[in-house]
């Protein structure tokens, strides 16, 4: 396990790997097959021709940068995170930390947003931009989950998408800002978006973890930093840098989707490294079900060859476990069918 740390990382195996790309403008049947394959092998893919208006993305990035450019005292008025709100360095409540500042917002517009009450910003404009972006993310996430349901051969292909489209969905929007980390202040390169600068810094912005929700849609600026843990192979697992592309979205399988597919789809482990010379901004939508929703392996995913792996639990139970554990902990291990009696404190 690689926990979030302010210390440089040494000795990690880094390798390049061809990452899957899915073009949503292709034939629907082909797209469904490609999504399933990518989620089985990587738990990750890049989606192009996604249909999200460039203006919606640009406005969201602008207002996020406006927030992070505020004086520290102003940003802190939106914190401390509990768990929503502004945070700096500290990640969660279990001692993890990283070189990141962030703003965590609920995706449901009816939920009060502490981050939208910044006195130096226009709260109405802030809320409108965030809501428009969230609506686009929910629509894109829903479309991807429907395609996934079709590719998996589910009798009800909409069973996954309805969870995040529910009026009580517990989806979130996270804005992460990673300031640059200069190893040598006299050697500042003009090529600030190169992934080599990220490797050179060797410092973790957000440590190794998997996302607990159903699905993650991540968009970042043109600065590298995102790395995913490659599937195990003959030469062992390794960290794979994800080349930045601000025109696309990166899709990640979350823990709940792994549980609902009985382990067929993989919840990808990933981390964010700090770039040596440029700040990185990522905007992350976490598609989640309502808190009271029961999560169970789908009937089609349980076979004699693949017996049930996970017990049933609510999203509220899983969130409670998530906040009680360290960032890099494999939370799903505690909800496996064969270990359900070992950790009673997680389900009280």
How many Å apart are CA 104 and CA 23, to the nearest integer?
29
Provide φ and ψ at 142, rounded to 5°.
Answer: -65, -40
For 144, the enclosing helix (H) or strand (E) is helix 123-151
Provide φ and ψ at 87, rounded to 5°.
Answer: -135, 155
Say whether the peptide bond before residue 59 is cis (omega within 30 degrees of 0): no
How many Å apart are CA 106 and CA 154, to the nearest integer?
30
List the beta strands (DSSP E) in 148-279.
172-178, 204-209, 215-220, 226-229, 239-241, 249-253, 270-273
Which residues have a catalytic role annotated? 280
Number of residues in the chain? 348
Say whether the peptide bond before residue 133 is cis (omega within 30 degrees of 0): no
For 100, the enclosing helix (H) or strand (E) is strand 96-106
């Amino acid at each position: 396990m690689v926990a979030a740390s302010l210390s440089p990382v040494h000795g990690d195996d880094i390798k390049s790997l061809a990452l899957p790309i899915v073009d949503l403008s292709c034939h629907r049947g082909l797209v469904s097959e490609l999504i399933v394959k990518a989620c089985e092998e990587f738990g990750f893919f890049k989606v192009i021709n996604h249909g999200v208006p460039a203006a919606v993305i640009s406005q969201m990035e602008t207002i996020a940068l406006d927030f992070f450019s505020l004086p520290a005292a102003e940003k802190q008025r939106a914190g401390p995170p509990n768990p929503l709100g502004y945070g700096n360095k500290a990640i969660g409540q279990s001692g993890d930390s990283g070189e990141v500042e962030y703003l965590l917002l609920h995706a449901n517009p009816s939920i009060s947003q502490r981050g939208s009450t910044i006195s130096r910003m226009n709260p109405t404009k802030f809320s409108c931009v965030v809501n428009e972006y969230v609506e686009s993310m929910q629509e894109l996430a829903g479309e991807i989950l429907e395609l996934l349901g079709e590719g998996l051969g589910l009798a009800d292909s909409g069973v996954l998408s309805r969870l995040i489209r529910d009026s009580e969905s517990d989806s979130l929007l996270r804005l992460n800002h990673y300031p640059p980390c200069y190893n040598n202040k006299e050697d500042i390169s003009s090529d600030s978006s190169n992934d080599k600068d990220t490797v050179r810094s060797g410092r973790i912005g957000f440590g190794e973890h998997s996302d607990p929700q159903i699905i993650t849609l991540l968009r970042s600026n043109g600065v590298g930093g995102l790395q995913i843990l490659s599937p195990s192979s003959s030469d062992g697992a390794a960290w794979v840098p994800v080349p930045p592309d601000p025109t696309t979205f990166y899709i990640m399988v979350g823990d709940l989707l792994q549980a609902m597919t009985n382990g067929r789809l993989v919840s990808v482990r990933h981390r964010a490294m700090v770039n040596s010379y440029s700040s990185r901004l990522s905007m992350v939508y976490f598609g989640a079900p309502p808190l009271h929703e029961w999560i169970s392996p789908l009937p089609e995913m349980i076979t004699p060859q693949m017996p049930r792996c996970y017990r049933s639990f609510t999203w509220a139970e899983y969130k409670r476990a998530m906040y009680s554990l360290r960032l890099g902990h494999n939370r799903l291990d505690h909800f496996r069918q064969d270990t359900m009696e070992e950790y009673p404190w997680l389900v009280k």
